[in-house]
Every structure is written in structure tokens, then in C-alpha cells.
């Protein structure tokens, strides 16, 4: 249940991505035709985005997977923005609006951030003035509750996302990659690099927390907070980009 290890386990793992999509969407015949880990979308103005995992199915529908351990990164506005970036990615000059593909942002969250206790939340636009009739714009957002532990396909998937022992996992498409990192010499070497990335990620998250805390408590700018914490000038852009 960490985005770095999530990337590694789904890297070149078409079967694993298909399994996850089939379970989450309840479409047993869904086929992935294209996928990519850590797809970056840059814009000429404004903020870009990095998709944890990007995929396209046989119907042309585009998916963005996001693993979120902290609640802050799983707010509805984040899902909304990622959905808009899927649209940005899909529109070439001269594209007819009716040809815009369906899209789906999947937020797999550590906690039940929406707070209703559901295993899976499906969000689509509706015409409120007409009894919430479907708007049918082709955009969908799904939240997977990482606290769910039901004895069903989704509960088993969430179990596997938290599971450390591949022998205790339900889905072989996911267990195979975990077993590679846990039991093979090459996999263990790569795992050491993953662990270093995780340690650095933890340090970065702690530093971002400290910067934001100073900004809020002392009413400092991002730059002032980073200077107060003694962050080297060459590292400051990395943190500033995640806060602004």
C-alpha cells in the first residue's frame, strides 16, 4: 500500500493491471491494451501531474490509478484535477467532442476518506435539477476504501495491497511480482533500492509537513519557511513544487 512499491509491482505487469481493473470495475472481460507507470503530463501553464499508473482498455477508456496513504492527497479536488488531465491528454487539435474517450480516475486510499463506510465509491456527474439524472459526459471517479476487508473480490484485492507475504495473497498476478522482490537475488537487490526510495520519501513527507506547519503557524511564505528550516537551495524547488 505504497505508491513506490505499487509502481514496481505493476511495472510491465499487464496481467496485474487487468486483474485490478476487473475487480474494481466488476468487468471480468476487461482487456488492457496500453499501460505505463508514472506517466507525466505537462502543461504550458499551471500545474502538471504524474499518474501512478496509466492504462487504456479495449474500448478506449483511459484510467489513472493513484495510491494514497495520506488523506491530504486523496481529497476530491485531487481526483477532479487528475480527471481533467486525462481529458487534456486525450484531446488533439481538431478532435471532435463526441470522440472524447471515457475516463476513470481510481483513488486507492489508505483510509475511508469519504467517510460513508463503503468498500467502493462511484462518482459520476448528475443533473441535480432533474432528480440526479445522469449527465453522461463519460467521466468517472472511483474511490477504493483501503480499510475494507470483506470476503469478496474487492476485499481480497485490498488485502493483497497490504499483504507482505506473497504466499498469503489471493491474486497470483500480483503475488508473482512481490515474490520476485522478496525471494530472488536480483529482486532483493532492486528491493534495496526501493527501500532507499521509501526512506527518502518519508524524509520528504516530513519536510513538507514542517514547511507547511511553519507557513501556517508563523504566516511565512514557502521560501521563508524553507530558509528557516535550512533547506539547501538546490533542494528547495523539489519541495516548493509539492506545496504550491
Domain chopping of the chain, boundaries: 3-183, 187-243
pLDDT value of position 157: 97
pLDDT by residue (tens digit) across 189-211?
887 777 777 778 778 888 888 99
- For 171, half-sphere exposure in the C-beta direction (CA atoms, 13 angstrom radius) is 27
* Contact between residue 239 and residue 209 where contact means Cβ atoms under 8 Å apart: no
Global pTM reads 0.78
pLDDT by residue (tens digit) across 217-235?
888 899 999 999 999 898 8
Instruction: Kindly state the average pLDDT of the residues 171-183.
Output: 90
pLDDT value of position 244: 56
Cα–Cα distance measured from residue 64 to residue 210, given in angstroms and rounded to the nearest whole number: 30
Counting other chains too, the contacts that 76-84 makes at CB distance below 8 Å and 24 or more residues apart are 78/107, 79/105, 79/107, 79/123, 79/141, 79/143, 80/141, 81/47, 81/49, 82/49, 82/51, 83/139, 83/141
Amino acid at each position: 500500500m505504497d505508491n513506490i512499491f505499487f509502481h514496481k509491482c505493476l511495472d510491465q505487469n499487464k496481467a496485474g493491471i487487468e486483474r485490478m481493473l476487473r475487480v474494481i470495475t466488476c468487468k471480468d472481460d476487461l482487456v488492457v491494451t496500453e499501460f505505463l507507470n508514472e506517466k507525466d503530463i505537462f502543461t504550458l501553464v499551471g500545474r502538471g501531474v504524474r499518474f501512478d499508473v496509466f492504462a487504456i482498455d479495449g474500448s478506449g477508456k483511459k484510467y489513472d490509478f493513484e495510491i494514497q496513504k495520506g488523506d491530504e492527497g486523496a481529497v476530491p479536488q485531487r481526483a477532479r484535477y487528475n480527471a481533467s488531465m486525462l481529458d487534456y491528454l486525450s484531446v488533439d487539435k481538431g478532435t471532435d467532442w463526441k470522440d472524447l474517450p471515457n475516463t476513470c480516475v481510481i483513488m486507492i486510499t489508505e483510509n475511508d476518506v469519504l467517510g460513508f463506510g463503503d468498500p467502493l465509491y462511484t462518482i459520476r456527474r448528475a443533473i441535480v435539477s432533474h432528480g440526479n439524472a445522469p449527465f453522461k459526459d463519460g467521466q468517472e471517479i472511483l474511490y477504493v476504501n483501503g480499510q475494507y476487508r470483506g470476503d469478496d473480490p474487492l476485499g481480497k484485492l485490498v488485502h493483497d495491497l497490504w499483504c507482505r507475504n506473497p504466499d498469503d495473497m489471493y491474486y497470483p498476478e500480483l503475488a508473482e511480482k512481490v515474490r520476485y522482490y522478496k525471494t530472488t537475488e536480483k529482486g532483493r537487490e532492486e528491493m534495496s533500492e526501493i527501500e532507499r526510495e521509501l526512506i527518502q520519501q518519508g524524509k520528504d513527507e516530513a519536510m513538507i509537513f514542517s514547511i507547511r506547519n511553519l507557513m501556517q503557524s508563523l504566516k511565512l511564505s514557502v521560501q521563508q519557511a524553507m530558509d528557516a528550516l535550512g533547506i539547501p537551495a538546490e533542494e528547495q524547488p523539489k519541495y516548493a513544487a509539492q506545496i504550491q
